[in-house]
Amino acid sequence: MLKDRRARLVSLFDREQLDCLVVEHLPNLRYLTGFSGSTGTLLLGRDAGWFICDSRYTLQARDEVVGLEIIEHSQRHEAIASLQRDVGWQRMGFEADHTMVSTHQALAKRLPAVQLVAVGAELDAIRDRKDQGELSALKQVAGLASDALLAVLPQIRPGVSEAELALALEVEMRHRGADGRGFDFIVASGERGAMPHGRASNKRLQAGELVTIDFGAVLNGYHSDETVTLAVGHADNRQQRMYDVVLTAHNRAIAAVRPGISCKELDAIARDYICEQGLGEYFGHGLGHGVGLEIHEAPTLSPRSDVVLASGMVVTIEPGVYIPGWGGVRIEDTVVVTDESCLILTAVPKRLMVV
């Protein structure tokens, strides 16, 4: 399977006329080699590949990395240069979006005759369509996180702080087998809800507020992503109306997910509805994003994205409105694009829950 994934890079090699490719971005490294450690280098030629790591990771690499020669070396740039001298590569690709300037400089210094070729978004996009193993991992982690949220619902009540809720949710996820939280949860109540990425603070929930909770777990490298907005105690007419607008936008977008629709068409379905309701200026971010080995990955669902959805892609649908001085509503599910429509992986009900 890892060999198949590496074989998908052949067209990239052809297009960029590469002799080899250096991969160090951990999600790409894990996807292409199976290595789950925190430092390593894949040096991929057209017919062979090498995995370079220092002595801290040699045993782990021998255990996890499939079909590559493992080279232990304390100076990875030296190891790359030494391989280049043996094999004679002329054009070496590197990850444009993830390579530090110092790494590029070190390679350029050691390999003056080699052309270093920046390879951009198309490399990360090789992970956009998930295989069966990835889909079952994503389904498992999404279900686990949703169950954890449902288990802590009784603790969401006036007087509890946003930070206490975030901690309780993380503990519940770990009890249920998660490796950890997938990202810093967003817990934003009352007026703080106007901040789309308001981190959990020491503010305490009050009756009559909405609280937006954006949460996810990580398990075996794969992430989940879901957002609920709840009413604490009771909801007034304005809160209910805002919620209904966002929920309708969310439901319309999910109903439109299918292979062949472009990301910007999908974004427009939710955005146009929110604009029709006079709230367009309060929906500032894109409709969603891919989820997998990273919490945010390709494709991006935004008004600027021409990417076309394909079966096997896993994306979030997360419209929201954020009104300064009032608060906000976001509703997010993660879905997998199927042959005809989509399957929702996240499981917390999306009607307005009053807790």
> Binding to Zn ion by residue 225, rule CB under 5 A?
yes
Site string for Zn ion, 111-150 (x = CB under 5 A): ----------------------------------------
> Binding to Zn ion by residue 24, rule CB under 5 A?
no
Say if residues 125 and 31 touch (Cβ distance below 8 Å): no
DSSP states along 19-72:
SEEEE--HHHHHHHH---SS--EEEEESS-EEEEE-TTSHHHHHHH--SSEEEE
Q: Which residues contact 280 (CB under 8 A, 6 or more apart)?
A: 271, 274
For the record, the structure tokens of 175 come out as: 């009890």
Give me the least distance between CB of 41 and Zn ion, in Å please. 30
Report the half-sphere exposure of 339 (CA within 13 A, side-chain side): 0
Give me the least distance between CB of 332 and Zn ion, in Å please. 5
Nearest C-alpha neighbor of 181 from the set 171, 194, 190, 189: 171
Give me the least distance between CB of 130 and Zn ion, in Å please. 16
Give me the least distance between CB of 233 and Zn ion, in Å please. 25
**Dist. CA 56–CA 243, nearest whole Å:** 51
**Cβ of 133: how many Cβ atoms within 10 Å?**
11
Q: What sign results for the dihedral spanned by CA atoms 295, 322, 197, 141?
A: negative
Q: Which residues contact 225 (CB under 8 A, 6 or more apart)?
A: 182, 214, 216, 291, 295, 316, 318, 332, 334, 346
Residue with smaller CB distance to Zn ion, 214 or 267:
214
Give me the least distance between CB of 295 and Zn ion, in Å please. 7
Give me the least distance between CB of 178 and Zn ion, in Å please. 16
Count the site residues for Zn ion by CB under 5 A: 5
**Dist. CA 278–CA 65, nearest whole Å:** 53
Of 71-79, 102-110, 132-140, 324-332, the window that binds Zn ion (rule: CB under 5 A) is 324-332
Give me the least distance between CB of 345 and Zn ion, in Å please. 13
> Binding to Zn ion by residue 214, rule CB under 5 A?
yes
Of 26-34, 71-79, 112-120, 227-235, the window that binds Zn ion (rule: CB under 5 A) is 227-235
Residue with smaller CB distance to Zn ion, 184 or 272:
184
Residue with smaller CB distance to Zn ion, 6 or 330:
330
Residue with smaller CB distance to Zn ion, 67 or 180:
180
Q: Which residues bind Zn ion (CB under 5 A)?
A: 214, 225, 227, 316, 332
